[in-house]
Structures are given as structure tokens and as C-alpha cells.
Structure 1
Amino acid sequence: MRSAPLLLLLALTPPLLRAPEGNQTRIGPAWSDSRNPIVTTFSGKRLDLWSLRPLTKAPPKRSIDAFLGTTNARTTDKRSLARRLSFDLTGLPPTQSDLASFTTAAAYGDKLLGRRSYGEHQARLWLDVVRYSDSNGFDWDEFRPLAWRFRDYVVRSFNADKPYDRFITEQLAGDELVAGKPKTAADQDALLATSYLRLGPWDNSAGLFGEANRVRNALMNDLVETTGTAFLGLTMACARCHDHKTEPLAQKDFYRFRAFFEGVTFRDDLSLALASDQEPLKGLLVTDGDKPPATTHVLAGGDLNQPKEEVSFGFPTVLDPNPVALCKPVREKSTGRRLTLARWIVAKENPLTARVLVNRIWQQHFGEGLVATPGDFGYAGARPKNQALLDFLARYFRDSGWSVKKLHRLIVSSRAYQSTQSPRRLSAEQLRDAVLQTSGQLTERHGGPPIWPPLPDEVLKANPAFLDDNKEKTKSWYPSPPERLGVRSLYLVQKRTVAIPLMATFDLPDNAVSCSRRTTSTVAPQALTLLNNPFLTDASLVFAKRVEKSPEADKVAVAFVLALQRVPRLDERRLCEDLLKKHGIPALCRALFNLNEFVYLD
């Protein structure tokens, strides 16, 4: 691929990353400074990657519809739009009162953004990206009893519309923002946020076999790869063993990035208690250790036993190959390395961060992002379908104080969003939660330890760890009482080696690595699950009782309104009344759960 003209690239280079005028010692980005090592590494190629260029400017009064030519597009019907908005923003179907009070998409969207269910749904999507789990993974897959505190932190953050730049900084370096013990709830959250650094798989048995260095090395690699994908849309993993095969990233870049995390130390002895707390509060926290971080070496072929030259912390060479001056952390006895990395990631001049997030939000509302590969903004990924729109949204997001809620409002207010879209299947969590709400079983839960649903015997007997539990009871499966199972799917336990069958059938992702976009399959086991899974058959019976208790005489209409938010057509009514006569209300309720209209958004 040919590189863009040097003068053009120089003009497009962000001021923060450009070599200062008159300073010949500081090396600029690769496309504007021939001294940048990346120029030599890749023989002057790979210098015109769109995602590394500054955000393009758009006229100040430009709109989403102006970019897409949908200014006069016809909007879909109220019921379809209400369902779309409700599932997209809260993960739940609209209630009858929601539909009755619906006026405009903007007004209804604001109403939904103010609900706790908004933060719960948004958190579920973010937990995919940061590979959240309640267990360690590997053979023993031990339960992490305090991991849920991070999940609840994410819910609170989205509901409070915490600025995204702060949200990132807390996860990477929240401990470096707090001096001493936490004094406020905000301090607590900043510390809890660092659980992000411990979410990855962890082989808890490695130390027993003299493999502590191996598991530590795996942790460091995971942090580089997840951070690159989650926040920057960069596929760093390929550069662990060699210069990247497709992107302007040298192997040295992987280890420069890794050096920011080299001081990470697990701390289970730190208290999160405030003076006003009635009981101690602890959290699975992270700090930089009291000792200087270990040195970082490039590893030949990624092999821990083949260290090569030592490297210092640094940003991707293509952007800035220079030594990095560290930020001063608030917390004493900390290096400031992770805070420095976080500040660079959220810097106004960094073109990647805002683009990546707005693309994820667009994907949430349209089923596919403006960039179809949300975790890969490189040459190997897809090019943006409309880069001008992507950059318009990124600028809006950044200039609006990194407000995720404002970004949602902007998108759902457009005619592009409100017009007819391609059908989208509900996610595993949306489907389960919709069944619970329709049947009247959904219970509110404001955080706390995860709920354990029952598992089939064949799953329980197939897992060796379940048969070899320990005194701490962290390796087996511990079903919760039936009366506690009506919670949203967000609050179900997530183990790495054991997926809840219902959720797995509907494409629950592997939580060992960052998931930027879920697979959406259509396979026969899904239809069989909807018909025969105990959760669905039991819910059908409860749904039937709810319909029977309704004072309305027209039970078919009651069931349709609860499940589909509409009354039946004449042909549907005839079929349903015939079904009622032959098999009763439970059969009707079960049939409604199996309709495409229940499982898909139009």
C-alpha cells in the first residue's frame, strides 16, 4: 500500500505527537520524521494508517443524518421504536406504561438513560471488552469471591455518566489517584477500578510447581493485549513474538508498552473502609509495589527464557519513540507509570481512544460499527464505512466532556436510528431478562455477590474441579435458592470453564480474552432450547399464571401485550384461540417465547 505524501501527513500530525520546531533531538512520528525507527523497520511502508491520523473536522452544524443522507428518512412505528430503544439502552423490553407515555424517541431515550437498568446493560457490554469473570480460569478455575465489586463499580460509573476519560484512568491507575486510605466513595471507586488489572485468567496453582515467573509473564502480556484492544483498537498480541505482520508496530513496542505495567502488585490486604462504614470493606486491589519495578526485556519469540535487550516504558514508536516523562501520582510510593499511560490514552491529541468508543456505541445501536472490526483499527481490520461520520462522533464525544449518555442521545435522536433497520437477535442476557420480565419473575437487585443458577447433572459431573473442592469452597458450583434466581443475567456467576447452557447456546462469549463484538449465530440448538430448556418451560408456566390473574377477559390479547407489546392480528387470534382450547394458556405462553418476534428486534 502506498504511503500518503509526506507534506500531507505532516499537516495531519497531532500537535502533541509532532516533533517540536527547532528541537532536533526529539524524534517525531514516523510519517513526519525519517529518523523514527519505524521508518527503517518497515522500509517506509505502513505510514498511512487511517486510524492513527488526527480526527477530521466537520462543519459545526453537521448532523448524523446529513452524513448519511437520512435527513428525510421515514421513521418506523412507535411500538418498534420503543422496543428498539428499550433493548438498546436498558437491555429490557418496554413496559405497557412506557408505551402509553411514549412521545418522541429523544424524550423516551432520556427516560431510559435515567434508569438503573441503563447502567446494568451498558456494564454488561463493557465487561465483555475487559474480559470480566468471577473465576480464575485454568484447571481449577477457582471462584473469585470479590470480583463482583468491579462489576458494580462499572454499573455505578455508567449510571452516573462518569466521563469516559476518568473511567479509563481509574481502571488503569485508580490507586495512583488516591493518597493513603480512601476518604470518599469516589476514592473507593478509584481503588476498586484497578480490579481491571486483575480480571484476566490467573493460574493459581502455578506457584506450587515453581512457575510463578510464567504466570506473571502471562499477566503482563494479557494487560498489554487487552489494553491495546479495549481502549485503542490496536492488536498488540502479534508483536509479542516479532515485529507485527500487518501494523506499524515493532516487537519492541510490545515491551515498551508492557513496561508501564511492570510494577503491578496484587494487594488483598488493603481496606476500602471509610470512617463512616459500619463494617470492613475489602477488595481482588492493585498497586505498584514498594520495590522498584523489574526491568523489562524484549523476549525472543515471546519466550520468557530468552531475554534480549532491556527497554524502558514508552508509547508506540510510530507515534512517539522518545523517552517518556512520568506523571507524578497522588499516591506515595508509586511509580506513576500507569497514570502516565492513562493520561496518554485519553489525551485530546490521541486519535484512537474516542474513535474506538464511539464505534462501540454505534455498534450497540445498529448491530455493526462504522468500523466492522471494533477491536482492530489496523490494516488487517476493516476500513470505516464513513470516516467523516466516525470522526464527527468522536469529536462530539470528546468535546462533550466524554459523556457516554450524550453520545447515546445524539445517536437515538437521528432519523438514521429511528428508521427501519435490519432485524437483530437479542443477546443471551437480553433474551433471558426479557423472559423474566414478561413472566413477571424479574427482581431488582442492586449489586452484590453473584447468583448461581442450577446446572444439569451432565455439566456438573463433567468438570473435574467440581469433584475436587477445597475448604474455601472456591472450586465447585453452589446453586442459589430458587427465590433468588429472578435477577438480571448481569448478576449471574460467570466462570471461565463452565458456561450456563442457556447463555452459551445464544453466543455468550469466551471471557478469557477481550470480546469487542459478539458472534450472532442461528443454529438448531437455539430453537430446541427455546422449546425445551427448563428455564423456558418453567417461565411459561409462571407467565401463564400471570395471564390468568389478569382481570382482562381477552387472555390472548393480555399475553400478546406482555410478550410482544402489541395486540394480535385477526389471523393470529384465530390460531391462538384454537391453541388455547386444545392445550391451555401455558402452551400459548410457551409459543410466544418461541416467536422470532420475541427473539429479534426489527
Structure 2
Amino acid sequence: MCRQHSQCIQLVFLLLLAGMGFPAAAAEIDFVRDVRPIFQKHCYTCHGEEKQKSGLRLDIKSEAFKGGDGWGPSVVAGEPDESPLIELVSSDDDVLRMPPEGDPLTADEIATLTRWIEAGAVWPDGVDLAELEDRLDHWAFKPTSRPDIPQVTQQEWPRNAIDRFVLSRLEQEALTPAPEAEPTAWLRRVTLDLIGLPPTPVEVTEFLAAVEQGDDAYAAIVDRLLSSPRYGERWGQHWLDVVRYADTHGFEVNTERPNAWPYRDYVISAMNADTPYDEFIKEQLVGDALGKDAATGFLVTASVLLPGQIGKDEPSKRLARQDSLDEIVNNIGQTFLGLSVGCARCHDHKFDPITAKDYYSMQSFVAGVEYADRAIALPEAEEQARQQRTKLLRQQMKHIEEQLSHVAALAKPRRGHAGKNANTNAEKNVEEFDPVEARFVEFTIHDANLHPKLGLIEPCLDEFEIFTDEALPRNVALAAGGTRVSASGSRSSGKHKLEHINDGQYGNERSWMSDMKGAGRVTFELPQPVRISRIVWSRDRKGEFQDRLPTAYTLKAGLTKESLTTLVDQPPLRAAVSPQRNTDRFSPVRAKRLRFTVLETNNLEPCLDELEIYNAAGENVALAEQGAELTTSGDILVAGRHDPSFVNDGKYGNSSSWMSNETGQGWVQLEFPEEQEIVRVVWGRDRNGKFQDRLPISYRVETAIDDSWRVVADSSDRRPGIADAESSSETTAAGLRFDDMQAVRRLLEEQKALEAEIKRASSRPQVFAGKFRKPDDIHLLRRGDPEQPVEPVKPAVLSAIGDLEFSKDTAEQQRRRELADWIASSENPMTARVMVNRIWQWHFGIGLVETANDFGRNGVKPTHPELLDWLAEEFIRQGWSIKQMHRLITLSATYRQATTYNEAAATKDADVRLLWRYPSRRIEAEAIRDSMLAISGQLNLKMGGRGFNLFNKRGGLSGFTPVESFSGDGLRRMVYAHKVRRERDAVFGAFDCPDAGQSTSRRIESTTPIQALNLFNSLFTIEQAQAFAERVQANNGDDVTTQIRQVYWIGLNREPTADEVADAKPVVRAHGLATLCRALFNSNEFLFFP
């Protein structure tokens, strides 16, 4: 075959292959020609310039190769099988396959993408269809600078630098400032603004007189208001809005957070003290190291699920933990930095240069923070003094307990009669005995039944009858027959008197009451000796009352007081077992071993804290260090707690206790190096009094010298139930006879007083705040899912505005300190800007940056960027003083403008963003309520402490019925109200009062019919209007005109016009002055900043 013919055959073969659709093996994939058209056709709708679903963008090389949220790189060059892009476009799963709508990729298109990746996924530079903007090129991320103060045309108007910046902007827009506000209007404005209350008529009069003397009067007012404790209450509320402070945990259960208020009080105190803002930041992040422990309540202001609300499975616990950390990071980011850092939890931030790695690196700073109630850490000197005092008091208590131990009731085991007294009857008890000659009869009460709520209280006796031994027995106890009665002590009242005990009348209202809890004695002296054989007594012969019934007593009779014979003796029971401390005293017994056996508990396996065994010399011979050897029936060890050696190690508390391995039973045995004469055993379940479960309620104590065991004490002679651990003095007294109690009464009183003192001295105030532990290991999480950890991260600041990174081994507190120092640094471009913007907003209703919590790219740009930077620099220069910022702003000509409307200016700037007048607005809900109370004369200025109730309960699922009528603490400022999440106050909640579910950087201002209805018809308004009217009438007599003038002066700080007086007179005469007061509460002049 010739060469030419061969070539023709080859050409035909190649053409046939091409016609069959097989690509040429040597053909190269061109991105622009082959790949990009596929992306344009199928992908750019969701992953292009307009949208980037799941964080994936395919029109820019760097973004496409970076991949989307949770997938990592979407294209792995040379590895199509490892590239999520191929997996998604070729999936058989209708849910996973891309694109989700429209035609799927053809086999040829998938093959093209596969070959492109196999060939190295070449994407030439310069062919992207869009340009990625530089997210770092944003005004807020650039360092602050102190701009030059601008020159202005109206040189006479500015009062300080603020005015020059504002006026410069106005002149650019051909606008002019409004006239200056009247002095009274400015005074009312600045007073409401700085302390949230209106000025008094006296303050108005004094200010107007001072203005006549010069302009310094304005500065003097500002200084007076800033030094008022009312200032911190007003401006503390602003801060609490931002950090979403509340007194409940939120979510559906919404349980009470009873110890949150110390953080609220800290904020108010810090505001009043003008704590420098950089220190204010540090105290809230690491106050436990700065002597401001309550300030760390900031870290845990968010809603949180309690352990019982979290699933018991580990994934649920990890998710809840991740959610709680997210709240902390989000709070720090938006509060101090004005950035929505939390948006990077599941993916890189969509707008700001905050990566998911940045987010988890920030989380690492607080990875050791937990939400918890705990004791407030006191300053070192204060804590040492507290501990020293507690130690001294405990030594005094130990001395008293040692004295009392020698007179404690002896244990007297009663076989088969555990915890039972004689069956005394409240209605009638008959005591019969062999006849005896008697002139004196003595009834001694050793014990009484327990009141269901009050415990052991003073016993009562109704009629006491003494019958003769005759065919027709006579009651010789009657006072009418000449019998006299005396008592150890009486608690007299209208119902309970000693003379009632033998007056022949029945019932509680004709009874005697002892003055001693559970004890007392009455003695009857008959006119002459008589032979007796029966006595009848009761607590209430009518059977209406069952409490205060004597259950242990002794009845004696005889011819003289000194020679009484015991007729009936019912000994007292010892105290019920106490979780904290129990003493079993017995007659001296020689022993080499002692065994404590638990027969029953209140629940679960028994726990025994310290078991102390005392010899006759008062030495604890049970201690391991004294050579006592321990054996047990079996043990359970939990996380290093409940080791058997803890039984006799001399340490107290649950973590130093022994736990049996048997439910409801078990025993411990101690053997001494040598024989001892044992007199008492002291034991408890938790000597610190925290735990009450696992308590032995039935037990026995045995001793032995050889193999023969002897029961020396058990629970059979104790009261049933569990003793109140709060009062060991009553526990000590239980089981003693009346005469023994009298002998130790002084010691018991001292013991009770000491108990109260020790409780006060040893217990530190509680706070709901950050609780700190070893930090968790933090990982970058795919899609924010705790079950999909990726790489571990270290503590590091946001890479867009800092480059600090710390070791994974950095201690917990040091992590927070480093974070606080970075945020509070003058070099941080966000911190000062964000705070001065908040201050500006709280003065004018809106900040220079409208989005106070978002200074990022999705926020609104500042209206006056140079002024914002100048204020930030000035803030730092003035030592981060918030009060100095107030002085600058409130004394500026900008702030002193009237609210006068200008139609031409409003056409250009309807929202008054350029500040051509003072932007009037309604005062906040709290200021409305507080002002009503102030002018009615009802305001309670008590500061601090637990909040007053706005609802009938302080937390729970639902059913928050509002309190309608307030008194006492309920008339305090509203910042001190117990704030329930998700429940707004019934009256003032309508005025846009936030519910603390989210951060409120700026309160909205709505206008609704319910506001007018609440403010006119609520019981609160009616009561305050009435109180206001009575206040005016009390000071101004019956003249209606004078009353009307005073209502205006007190409520609005001005004289009424002649027309206003004329209109008000017939209303007041017909409906009363309170009606005018209600109308004033509803006026715009009262409700708005002037």
C-alpha cells in the first residue's frame, strides 16, 4: 500500500472517532473555553457575585479554590475523586446534587470538569469575571487619628470642638443651627438625660437665678448631676441594655437567676465612680483578678440552658457548651468592638474580614468560663479578716460544744421502739396511779411535737384537772377551790395565760403557753393535803389544735415541794438525725474497737463525713494520725471523692467523706492502738451542711474489747425524720430533761447566737458570674458543629485588627487578661470609637454610626467620621472618662439647641442626622415610671440589692401575672426591678422596654394605642396621679388655681398659660385634681425630651 493511501485511511479513522463523540486524547482543557461556561450556565446564580450560598463563590479563582462552609477546598488539583465539586455535581442523591434546581450537568460537562481537575485544575490569572474587594479597606478597621478641627463661617456659634465639626457639616449642606433652647428647657433635658428624673421646682428656680449671673451655671448643673448617685442608675440602665442583663435564665423554662443583681449593682457603682472605660472593660473580663469579682457577671449575662434542660447524651452537652461560649464571644464582640463576631461561628463572616478561625481563636480566650452561681471573691485583706473572724467564732463554738457534750442526752436504745413517744393526745390524756397523799403536784414538759412549719415551739396546756381518790372524785385543781399555780415561765397573750390552766374552761383560747421551746413546768399548790389517784390534762380539750402538744413529761406529787414522788415518767427523745452533725453520748465504756453500722438512709448509698470518737479525756481517738485503723463493708470512689480513709482524716465536707457500695446500708469500723474509755461519738453526712442526701436515718453504734459486741447507741431513741441543720442549739437541747435544759440554757442561747454569727461571717455573698476552670481544648468546627472538629486553635485576637497569639498552655485567667488588655488598648481601632458613639447615641437618640453594635461593612457609615475620630481620641486623652464626655457634649452648642422645626432643613435632613436642631424623642420606659414616682412624691431612692417584683413570681414556664399595686421596694427606680426575660412589664413594657432576649444597642420608638391606654387607665397611673394630687393639695390648700399652677410647676417645670388654667379649672372642680395629674402624665411635654 502506498504511503499516501495510508495517510488517507488514518485521516478517515480520526474523523470517524470525532463523529462518534470521543475526545482526542491529546486535546487540552481550556478553563475559559471549556470550564467557565459550565460554571456560568449552572453555578453563578447561587455562587457568583450576587449570592454565595454555603460560602462558595465560583467566579473568582481564590474563592473557588478555598471552597464553601464546612467543605474545605472545593477543587483539589489532580484529585477529582477528592474534590467536593465533582462529588456534588455527580451525586445520585437529589438532595445533595448540584445545582438543586434546573437541569443537572450532562455527562460530558461532568467529564470536562473531571479532566480539568485531573490535569491540575489550571485557572489562568486575569480571567476572573469579578474582583474581590479588600475587606480590610474599611474605615472602622483603620487606626483612629486626631483630625484637625475644621474652620467654620459662623465663628460665634461653636462653644467647643464638637460644634465646629457639626457646624462644618451643616455649612456644607447650606443649613444653619436652630436657636438656643430656653434655660428651663435645657435644664429639664439635661436632668432627664443624665439622671432620668425631672428637675424639681426649687432646682429650676435656683438655676434661672444662676443663669442671670453668667454661663457658668450650665457647667455647675452638669457637675451636680454627674455627682448624683441617680446618674449611675440612669446610665447603668443604658449599659445593661447592651449586655442584655436579666434576672432569669431565659428559654422556655426561664427559671430565676437570683444572684445576678450584684453585676447590675457593679455597673451602677462603676458609672457613679466614673471608672475609666478601659478599666471598666478589664474589670468585666477579668475582675476576679482586679478585686471586682461581681463585674465578671458580664461574661454570663446571656440566656443559658441549665443542666436539667440539656439532654443527657454527650452530643447535647457539647452543643450546649458551644452555645454558651458563643454567647460570651458574641457579647464581647458586639459590646466592646462593635462587630458581629458570632457570624463567623459556622463559616467565614460574609461581610467582615473575620474568619471562622478568628472566631474560635477568640473563643479560646473564654474556654474556661462557665455560667454559675458562686461566692464573690473578696479583696485579699477583707477575705483574710473574714477568715480570721470565722476561725475565732468557730473556736468559741467548739468550746461551747465541748461543754454541752458533757450534758447531752444519753443515748438509750429502745429495742423495737425507734422514734416513738407515748401516744399523747391533744384532746385528753388520763394519768392513773396508785393513790398518794399530796399537797403539791408538778407537771414537767421535756419535749413537744414539731410544728409542720415552725419546728419545735412552745408547748401549751389546756385545763389541768387533779382528781381525788374518792367514790365521787372531785377536781381539786380549780382556782375557785383555792388552788394556786406557778410556772417556770409563761408566754402571755389574750388567749394564753397561766390562770387559764385551772379556771374550769376548755379550749385553746383558755390555755397556758410556756415561754420555752419544747419545755416548761407548772406546779399546783392545793389548799390542803388530799389523797389523789387520777390526773387529766390536754393541749386543747375542744380538739381544734394539734400543735404544741407535750410528748415527753414527768408527773410528780407530794406533801412538800422537796419530797415529790414520780408518778408518771415519759422520757424525751433525742433529736432527729442531722445531715451536718450528730452526737451520741453514752455511759463510759471500755473499748478496743468501735463499729458504726448504717441500717437505712433517706436515699441511695450512705455517706459518712468524719467519724469522731471521744474518750473520757476529750481526745478524738478515731484519727488515723493517732494510729486508729479503719475497715469498711465496701466503698465507692467517685472522681477522687469518698475514699474510705476520709472517715478519720480530720477533714470535713462531702469531698472528704466515705460512701458505701450498698444501697441504704454499710458499716465502718475503727480499731484503736490500745483500749480506750469511750464516752461519745460525733458524726455527720456532710459537716459543711451542703448535702442532705445519703443520710443514715437508722443506725447503731457498737463497741468491743474482744469478739463480743455491745450496742451503746442507736437511732431508736431519736425523733423520726431529719433535723433542721440550721439550729444545732435546738438539736442539742432535744433529749434533755427540763432541769438539764435549765442548767445549760445560757450555753444554748450562746450557741444559737454564735451559729447566726458564724453563718454571717463564713458565708460570702453569692453572684451569678463567670466560674473559671481549666480551659477546654478549642477546635475549628465544620459548620459550627461540635461533632465535626477540624484543627485545634490557640487564643488569638481578630486577625483583621491585631496580630496577638498565645500559647495553648496559657492559663485561664491570663487568657482573659490578655484579651482585656488588647480590647482596652488605645491602639485598638474599635474600642474608643464604639463607646463614644454609644455615649453620643444615648444623648441624641442616635449615634454618629447608626448601627451601634455593628461597625463592620454591613453597618451604616458615620455621618461625621472626623468628629467620631476626634471624640475617640479625646476620650482616650481624657483618661477614658465617660463623665468628661458628658461635659463636652451637654455643654456644647449642638446639645443646647432648641427643638425648633425648620421645614427647609427637614427637606434636606428629615431624620436630623446632621443635627440642625436638638432631636427630641420620647424618654424611655424606666424614665417615665421613675418620673411619675418622683413628682408624685412616692419614689423610693433605696439603692442596690435584690430587685423588686413586677410579676407574681420571679421565674418559670409561664403565668407571669403582673403586680398591679406597688409599695415599699416596689416604688424604687425601675432599674432595680427583677427583670424577667421574655416578659415585659404590664404597663411600661409597651414603651419599647427590651426583654433582654438580645442585646439592645438602641431602643426603637414606637407609637401604639396600648401605650395611651396603659398610661391613662393602669392602676399604677391612677395611684400615682392620686398621690401627686394629695401632695399638691397638702402643700397648697384648697385654692384650685394654686393647685393647677403647682401641678404644672412640679410636673412640667413651668407656669401654666392663662388658657391652660381656664381649661383645667372646671375639670378639677368636677373630677378632682388627680384627673389633671393623669392628663399631665399623658402629655407629650411630660413624655418627651424638650
Could you say which TM-score interval applies, normalised by the shorter chain? 0.7 to 0.9
Aligned to 2:323: 218
Change (3 A) 1:489 1:464: closer
1:494 maps to: 979
Please tell me whether residue 360 in structure 1 is matched to residue 843 in structure 2.
no
Q: Which residue of 2 aligns with 1:582?
A: 1070
Q: How far is 1:287 from its partner?
A: 4.4
Using the alignment, how far apart are the partners of 2:333 and 2:374 within structure 1? 29
- 2:331 corresponds to 1:229: no
Q: What is the distance in 1 between the residues matched to 2:944 and 2:804?
A: 44
| C-alpha distance in 1 between matches for 2:982 and 2:335 | 22
Q: Which sits farther off after the overlay, 335-344 or 205-214? A: 205-214
Which amino acid in the other structure matches residue 313 of structure 1? P
Task: Using the TM superposition, give the Cα deviation of residue 488 of structure 1 relative to its aligned residue in structure 2, in angstroms.
Answer: 0.3
How far apart are residue 268 of structure 1 and its match?
A: 4.0
Residue range with higher mean Cα deviation, 446-455 or 502-511: 446-455
Letter aligned with residue 378 of structure 1: G
Change (3 A) 1:301 1:326: closer
| Aligned-pair CA distance for 1:498 | 2.0
Residue 181 of structure 2 aligns with which residue? Answer: 76
Deviation at 1:366, TM superposition (A): 0.9
In the other structure, the counterpart of 2:368 is 263
Q: Deviations over 1:19-73 (max 9, x none)?
A: xxxxxxxxxxxxxxxxxxxxxxx94521211011111223479711111128986
Residue 995 of structure 2 aligns with an amino acid whose one-letter code is D
**Which residue of 266, 277, 285 corresponds with 1:172?**
285
Map of 2:764 onto structure 1: 281
Matched, 1:435 2:918: no
CA contact (8 A) 1:175 1:287 kept: no
Equivalences for residues 441-480 of structure 1 within 5 A: 441-454=938-951, 465=957
- The residue identity in structure 2 corresponding to 1:238 is C
Give the corresponding residue for 1:201.
Answer: 303
- Per-residue deviation, residues 169-191 of structure 1 (Å, max 9, x unmatched): 010111234xxxxxxxxx2xx11
* Identity over aligned pairs, percent: 37
Greater Cα offset, 127-136 or 63-72: 63-72
Which residue matches 1:130?
Answer: 243
- Specify whether residues 271 and 379 from structure 1 end up closer, same or farther in structure 2 by C-alpha distance, changes over 3 A only: closer
2-structure distance, mates of 1:476, 1:306: 44
In structure 2, the residue matched to 1:550 is 1035
Greater share of helix: 1
Give the one of 164, 188, 196 matched to 1:66. 164
Residues 440, 546 of structure 1: 8 Å contact kept: yes
Q: Distance in 2 between matches of 1:558 and 1:174?
A: 48
For 1:237 and 1:266, the matched residues in 2 are separated by 19
1:405 is matched with which residue?
A: 883
| CA distance, structure 1, for counterparts of residue 373 and residue 975 of structure 2 | 25
Partner of 1:115: 228
**Equivalences for 1:21-420 in 2 at 5 Å?**
43=132, 45-59=134-148, 63-69=161-167, 74-102=179-207, 103=211, 104-177=217-290, 187=291, 190-204=292-306, 205-207=308-310, 209-210=312-313, 211-266=316-371, 268-273=373-378, 274-275=382-383, 279=761, 280-282=763-765, 283-289=767-773, 291=774, 293-321=775-803, 323-324=805-806, 334-420=812-898
In the comparison of the two structures, how many residue pairs are matched?
533
Q: In the alignment, residue 413 of structure 1 is paired with which amino acid?
A: L
Matches within 5 A, 1:512-527: 512-527=997-1012
CA deviation profile, 1:528-581 (whole Å, cap 9, x unmatched): 111111111111111111121123641100111111111111111111112112
- Return the alpha-carbon distance in structure 2 between the equivalents of residues 497 and 422 of structure 1: 31
Equivalence for 1:24: none
Contact 1:72 1:415 in 2 (8 A): no
Assess if the C-alpha contact under 8 Å between 1:531 and 1:537 holds in 2. yes
Q: Find the counterpart in structure 1 of residue 107 from structure 2.
A: none
> 2:1083 maps to what in 1?
595
Aligned partners of 2:956, 2:285: CA distance in 1, in Å? Answer: 35
DSSP 3-state at the match of 1:222:
helix
The answer as to whether partners of 1:137 and 1:497 remain within 8 angstroms in 2 is: yes
Ranges in structure 2 where 5+ consecutive residues have no aligned partner: 1-48, 50-130, 151-159, 169-175, 212-216, 387-759, 899-917
For 1:147, give the aligned amino acid.
A
Give CA deviations for 1:409-440 in whole Å, capped at 9, x if unaligned.
01111000011212210101010001101111
CA shift for structure 1 position 334? 3.8
* Contact 1:428-1:503 within 8 A present in 2 as well: yes
Cα contact 2:288–2:377 (8 A) shared by 1: no
Q: In structure 2, do the counterparts of structure 1 residues 209 and 497 end up closer, same or farther at CA, with 3 Å as the change threshold?
A: farther
Per-residue CA distance 1:182-206 (angstroms, 9 max, x = gap)? xxxxx2xx11111111211111133
Q: Is the 8 A contact 1:150 1:195 kept in 2?
A: yes
Change (3 A) 1:589 1:335: closer
CA distance in 2, matches of 1:394, 1:449: 36
Over 3 Å counting, the alpha-carbon distance change for 1:73 and 1:105 in structure 2 is farther
Q: Give the 3-state SS of the residue equivalent to 2:987 in structure 1.
A: helix
Task: Return the alpha-carbon distance in structure 1 between the equivalents of residues 255 and 964 of structure 2.
Answer: 16
Partner of 2:189, secondary structure, is helix
Query: Are the aligned partners of 1:134 and 1:148 in contact in 2 as well (CA < 8 Å)?
Result: yes
**Matched residues in 2 for 1:327 and 1:548: separation?**
71
Q: Which residue is equivalent to 1:534?
A: 1019
Cα separation, 1, equivalents of 2:963 and 2:1010: 26
Higher mean C-alpha displacement, 540-549 vs 429-438 = 540-549
Change (3 A) 1:191 1:454: closer
Whole-angstrom CA distance in 2 between matches of 1:323 and 1:354:
22
Query: Which residue identity is paired with 2:167?
Result: G
The aligned amino acid for 2:772 is: D
What is the CA–CA distance in structure 1 between the aligned matches of 2:177 and 2:1062, rounded to whole Å?
39
CA gap of 1:490–1:391, structure 2 versus 1, over 3 A, is same
Looking at structure 1, the residues matched to 345 and 790 of structure 2 have their Cα atoms a distance apart, in angstroms, of 13
Letter of the 2:851 partner, please give it: T
The 4+ residue runs of structure 1 with deviation greater than 6 A are: 70-73, 325-328, 475-481
Report the Cα distance in structure 2 between the residues aligned to 1:73 and 1:392, rounded to whole angstroms: 24
Contact 1:326 1:336 in 2 (8 A): no
Aligned-partner residue type, residue 293 of structure 2: L
User: 1:79 offset after TM fit, Å?
Assistant: 1.2
- Residue 564 of structure 1 aligns with which residue? 1052
Structure 1 residues not aligned, in runs of 5+ = 2-41, 178-186, 468-474
User: Partners of 2:371 and 2:161 in 1: how far apart?
Assistant: 46
TM normalised by structure 1 equals: 0.84
| Greater RCO (Cα-Cα under 8 Å, separation 6 or more) | 1
**1:425 counterpart SS class:** coil
The answer (yes or no) to whether the contact 2:297–2:768 under 8 Å persists in 1 is: yes
